[in-house]
A and B are shown apart, each in its own frame.
Chain A
């Protein structure tokens, strides 16, 4: 079996369409770039100020002036362009990003998202996340289904919100779930898990789509 993170990243990649402008969060979401199908051309945005983000440079060819939002050395593709942070977030809030892919601490059945602070424990800051989830046309949460068995998909978030009612899709190693006006709908189930297992690992009601498909 492939690594759980790779399973998630590979499935997220299938959500992206030719010509999309996409912003990838730090960590697991960054791996999505490795799974873009042949023939699909995606323009990746880096919110610190460019479009046309490319892969990591070869060792010894790093350019100190060229890092992504996670402060890792990157490259740009032909056709890339640089801009300032105000323009970058104009692109984001203005609805010019087709999809943003982020990890999360919690998501609830109303599409509320909590992924920037654990009061008293971890106060890293929201960075660009609050703008991204409010501005992007599609918000995809890519994360492990539970935190070592503790529910992350909930009836109500317990942590402070990043934004309210913004999540469209949740992709985990167990399945693909859509947030609808009537709650969380399971659309695909990974063949390694049963319906009972995913329901048990989910902290809110999970409606099974009438046309449930295997997550591949």
Chain B
């Protein structure tokens, strides 16, 4: 069996300036902080980050934002991180953040579509709004839909609760959110997990992300942070 286990700094070593990275989590719940910390340490810039939101200052992708490492953020909601507005409105071109807002369900499904080999999907969400600008409207069975295209990335940062050495991963409670789809939609998938166990120790009935999707496993994610 290939040894997928690495340290956080080894895991993020292949990531270069300008990379496109998907990051699991919802307001940082379900974001692998150890991988974010390693990326902050590495200092790569001009990143495109795909995440449900902008995290909060000091948590999740908010840390990358604070360090000015994100050039483009693709998210559904950024209102709970005040740094987003500051960086979008800055005069300094070098630091300017571009924010592309996508409805949450459309964001999840675009990522799922990329991982599932679909060329896109039709959704009623956004019809008649500015989200529809530049998109094809398809009329089917009496209703208008937007054609939404798949969204993939170079890397995915996944936050597991328990992961075996093959990569099979279980998520605890609300940490699951975007992680399972993102694990299918990037060229290189890194799981930051709370607990690494031997193959066979996870009940196969409980596995959410099959190990075949996982390239690298990093242990030491904290399960409790209160």
Could you list which residues of chain A lie within 8 angstroms of chain B, going by C-beta atoms?
46-50, 62-67, 69, 71, 76, 82-86, 88-89, 92-93, 122-131, 134-135, 160-165
On whether the beta carbons of A64 and B224 are closer than 8 Å, the reply is: yes
On whether the beta carbons of A48 and B108 are closer than 8 Å, the reply is: no
Within 8 A of A (CB), among B173-197: 173-181
On whether the beta carbons of B108 and A134 are closer than 8 Å, the reply is: no
In this complex, which of A48, A62, A67 has the most chain B Cβ atoms within 10 angstroms of its Cβ? A48
B85 interface contact, C-beta 8 A: yes
B138 interface contact, C-beta 8 A: no
Q: Which one of B77, B174, B180, B223 lies within 8 Å of A126 (CB-CB)?
A: B77
Q: Which one of B88, B125, B181 lies within 8 Å of A85 (CB-CB)?
A: B181
B42 interface contact, C-beta 8 A: no
On whether the beta carbons of A49 and B104 are closer than 8 Å, the reply is: no
Which of the 9-residue segments B8-16, B64-72, B126-134, B149-157 touches chain A?
B126-134
**Contact flag A64-B108 (CB < 8 Å), given A85-B177, A125-B79:** no
On whether the beta carbons of A65 and B175 are closer than 8 Å, the reply is: yes
Q: Which one of A49, A62, A129, A161 lies within 8 Å of B26 (CB-CB)?
A: A49
On whether the beta carbons of A65 and B177 are closer than 8 Å, the reply is: no
Query: What does DSSP make chain A's interface, helix, strand, loop or mixed?
Result: loop
B124 interface contact, C-beta 8 A: yes
**Contact flag A89-B131 (CB < 8 Å), given A84-B178, A84-B180, A123-B85:** no
**B178: min CB distance to chain A, Å:** 5
Using Cβ atoms and an 8 Å threshold, which residues of chain A touch B101?
123, 125-126
B112 interface contact, C-beta 8 A: yes
Using Cβ atoms and an 8 Å threshold, which residues of chain A touch B105?
85, 88-89, 92-93, 128, 130-131, 135
**B102: min CB distance to chain A, Å:** 8
On whether the beta carbons of B104 and A127 are closer than 8 Å, the reply is: yes
**B216: min CB distance to chain A, Å:** 21
Using Cβ atoms and an 8 Å threshold, which residues of chain B touch A85?
26, 52, 104-105, 107-108, 177-178, 181
On whether the beta carbons of B76 and A125 are closer than 8 Å, the reply is: yes
B225 interface contact, C-beta 8 A: yes
**A192: min CB distance to chain B, Å:** 33
Within 8 A of A (CB), among B187-226: 208, 223-226
On whether the beta carbons of B173 and A82 are closer than 8 Å, the reply is: yes
On whether the beta carbons of B76 and A65 are closer than 8 Å, the reply is: no
Give 8 closest A-B pairs by Cβ, nearest first: A124-B79, A89-B105, A131-B105, A164-B128, A71-B27, A127-B77, A85-B108, A125-B77
Within 8 A of A (CB), among B13-49: 26-30
On whether the beta carbons of A82 and B174 are closer than 8 Å, the reply is: yes
12 sample A-B contacts, Cβ–Cβ < 8 Å, listed by A number: A50-B173, A63-B173, A66-B173, A84-B178, A93-B125, A124-B77, A130-B105, A130-B126, A130-B131, A134-B125, A160-B130, A164-B127
Using Cβ atoms and an 8 Å threshold, which residues of chain B touch A130?
103, 105-106, 125-126, 129, 131
Whole-angstrom CA separation of A39 from B72 in the bound complex? 49
Whole-angstrom CA separation of A122 from B107 in the bound complex? 21
Whole-angstrom CA separation of A102 from B129 in the bound complex? 18
